């Protein structure tokens, strides 16, 4: 359930936000600017690469590595394959994880390490593997840590991880597995690198516009903005007591949808199912005809609304990166939802570059996940 009265009470939200989640999302624009300055100071803009790598490999602990790989793949629009190296191990803890380069990896490939944990020995071992194979290595990691030293010894580039005072406050017992907004700290230097090697366009002025868009969304989604004009709060309220079916259209929207599902699970403890259109229409069609369909279990008029929570129903969230065109599956998705009596939420960014569109969608879903985490009740 969701305490909707809390959503429009900034003081109550602040009291419930013991890990500073809202601050973490709101600072995303500032974090982007700090990370961009750090990338410039590390010498990324002075690099003179010989050309694009054959493949970009991404490895690292937690959801950051998967998010970076997903977004680089989406923003690159197929200019270069981007492959995530999944870890193995007995537990998702530093020292317990190991990464192994694919057998084909070699001098033509680039290894990226979004490594917020500077002391993970598994990543240092991966750097050694890459050095033996001749792979170029770039890491975004805390300055002076063991991972940074390993990368420098392997003749790679170690970019200092941009941090804020919020990061220290978030690193406390009981905090969620990933602080909202910190994805930008590892992503921005790698976007600058991707710009230099020709994977995508992310010059400094484009990153500045990205930060501005994040600031704009932070103003629109802030805790003092009422729900009816706040896209983050609105989406959170719409997803209360619902199983989100995140239907995405476009590569950027697909990456955002997967990120949203990760944030819903990690911050709000809520499940979500992600599928890309048009395949989602077939994948989830039967689900919308089952027990989760809105018409399967109509709300009981005599239900005790204090003691008995409403039945969970599916709600479709359409995520797209541009206005639907003649080949869009959006209309078919809307028709299926209407046919199955299923509510629909829609997110579409304002006009802008791919970077700005991604930033807007990511910020809104981050705010929604945080509001669900803060206002959710058992």
pLDDT tens digit sequence for 10-63? 899 988 888 889 999 999 999 999 999 999 999 998 888 888 999 999 999 888
Q: What is the span of the domain harbouring residue 240?
A: 4-12+214-375
178 and 291 share one domain: no
pLDDT at 312: 80
244 and 329 share one domain: yes
289 and 361 share one domain: yes
290 in a structural domain: yes
357 in a structural domain: yes
200 and 246 share one domain: no
Q: Which residue has the tokens 């910020």?
A: 363
338 and 197 share one domain: no
- Pick from 78-87, 177-186, 320-329, 366-375: least confident: 177-186
221 and 319 share one domain: yes
- The domain that contains 79 carries what CATH number? 3.40.50.10490
20 in a structural domain: no
First to last CA, the chain: 6
Mean pLDDT along residues 274-291: 93
Question: pLDDT averaged over the chain?
Answer: 90
Tell me the residue length of the chain: 378
265 and 140 share one domain: no
pLDDT at 36: 95
**Is pLDDT of 300 > 70?**
no
158 in a structural domain: yes
Domain boundary pick from 212, 234, 260:
212
Using CA atoms, how far apart are residues 126 and 100, in angstroms rounded to an integer? 7
167 and 286 share one domain: no
**How many structural domains are present in the chain?**
2
184 and 44 share one domain: yes
Crossing angle (nearest 10°) for helices 354-375 and 62-76:
150
Helix (H, G, I), strand (E, B), or coil: what is residue 156? coil
In 3-state terms the chain splits into helix, strand, coil percentages (rounded to 5) of 45, 15, 40
19 in a structural domain: no
**Is pLDDT of 279 > 90?**
yes
Mean pLDDT along residues 189-205: 95
Using CA atoms, how far apart are residues 137 and 9, in angstroms rounded to an integer? 47
221 and 369 share one domain: yes
User: What 8-state DSSP symbol labels residue 269?
Assistant: -
18 in a structural domain: no
99 and 138 share one domain: yes
Using CA atoms, how far apart are residues 267 and 190, in angstroms rounded to an integer? 25
224 and 120 share one domain: no
Rounded to a whole number, what is the largest CA-CA distance in the chain? 71
257 in a structural domain: yes
Domain boundary pick from 168, 183, 212:
212
17 in a structural domain: no
Domain boundary pick from 193, 212, 231:
212
- Pick from 111-115, 176-180, 212-216, 286-290: least confident: 176-180
pLDDT 10s digits, 317-373: 999 999 999 999 999 999 999 999 999 999 999 999 999 999 999 999 999 999 999
């Amino acid at each position: 359930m969701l305490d909707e009265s809390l959503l429009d009470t900034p003081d109550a939200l602040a009291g419930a936000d013991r890990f500073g989640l809202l601050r973490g999302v709101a600072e995303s624009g500032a974090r982007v600017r700090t990370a961009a300055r750090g990338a410039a100071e590390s010498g990324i803009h002075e690099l003179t690469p010989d050309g694009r790598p054959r493949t970009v490999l991404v490895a690292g602990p937690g959801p950051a590595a998967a998010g970076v790989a997903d977004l680089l793949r989406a923003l690159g629009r197929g200019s270069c394959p981007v492959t995530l190296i999944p870890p193995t191990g007995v537990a998702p803890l530093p020292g317990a994880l190991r990464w192994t380069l694919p057998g084909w990896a070699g001098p033509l490939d680039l290894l990226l390490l979004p490594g917020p944990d500077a002391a993970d020995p598994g990543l240092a071992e991966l750097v050694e593997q890459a050095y033996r194979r001749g792979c170029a290595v770039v890491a975004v990691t805390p300055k002076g840590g063991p991972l940074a030293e390993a990368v420098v010894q392997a003749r790679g580039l170690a970019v200092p991880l941009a941090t804020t005072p919020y990061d220290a406050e978030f690193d406390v017992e009981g905090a969620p597995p990933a602080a909202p907004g910190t994805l930008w700290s590892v992503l921005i230097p790698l976007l600058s690198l991707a710009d230099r090697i020709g994977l995508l366009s992310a010059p400094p002025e484009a990153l500045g516009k990205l930060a501005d868009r994040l600031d704009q969304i932070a103003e629109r989604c802030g805790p003092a903005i009422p729900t009816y004009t706040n896209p983050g709060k609105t989406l959170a309220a719409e997803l209360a007591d619902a199983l989100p079916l995140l239907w995405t259209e476009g590569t950027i929207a697909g990456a955002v949808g997967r990120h949203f599902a990760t944030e819903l699970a990690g911050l709000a403890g809520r499940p979500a199912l992600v599928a890309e259109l048009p395949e989602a229409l077939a994948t989830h069609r039967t689900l919308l005809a089952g027990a989760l369909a809105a018409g399967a279990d109509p709300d009981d008029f005599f239900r005790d609304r204090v003691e008995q929570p409403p039945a969970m129903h599916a709600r479709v969230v359409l995520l797209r990166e541009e206005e639907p065109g003649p080949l869009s599956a959006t209309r078919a998705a809307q028709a299926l939802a209407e046919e199955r009596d299923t509510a629909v939420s829609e997110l579409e960014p304002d006009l802008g570059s791919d970077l700005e569109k991604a930033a807007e969608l990511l910020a809104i879903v981050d705010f929604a996940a945080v509001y669900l985490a803060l206002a959710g009740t058992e």
